[in-house]
Amino acid sequence: MLSKPNRLNLSREYYKIKKGSLFIQTPIFKVFYAESGDVQPRIGFVVSHHIGKAVVRNRVRRLLAEEVRKNLSKFPKKMKLVFIAKHNIISLKHGEISTFINQVLSKIPEPK
């Protein structure tokens, strides 16, 4: 689980980031990102009902959060990110998700 200063909590933050920001697409998730005034990166996860039932969605959310937590120092500061899971993520393991996160990190520009 991410520490509290690194989590996005409010649904209006999710909508704000999705509405007016850029995104990067991978086969297993889509990442919306926007600059923020926060010192640390703030990250949220969305796993819809299309992925599966609650057990599957929670597993996917935990996998994503753990891989992001491991790579948190690589994320650019002063950014807000929202990971939206796709159906392909169900069959992946920890290490495979990490490679996609590293691909996304290489494409996100540093904030000004």
Q: What is the mean pLDDT of residues 9-32?
A: 88
Report the C-alpha gap between 51 and 77 in whole angstroms.
30
On whether the CB atoms of residues 14 and 46 are closer than 8 A, the answer is: yes
Q: Residue 111: what pLDDT? A: 78
% of residues, the chain, pLDDT over 70: 100
- Band of pLDDT at residue 21, cut at 50, 70 and 90: confident
Q: In the predicted model, is pLDDT for residue 3 greater than 90?
A: no
Q: What is the mean pLDDT of residues 76-87?
A: 93
On whether the CB atoms of residues 31 and 40 are closer than 8 A, the answer is: no
Q: In the predicted model, is pLDDT for residue 89 greater than 90?
A: yes
* CATH 3.30.230.10 at 4-107, yes or no: yes
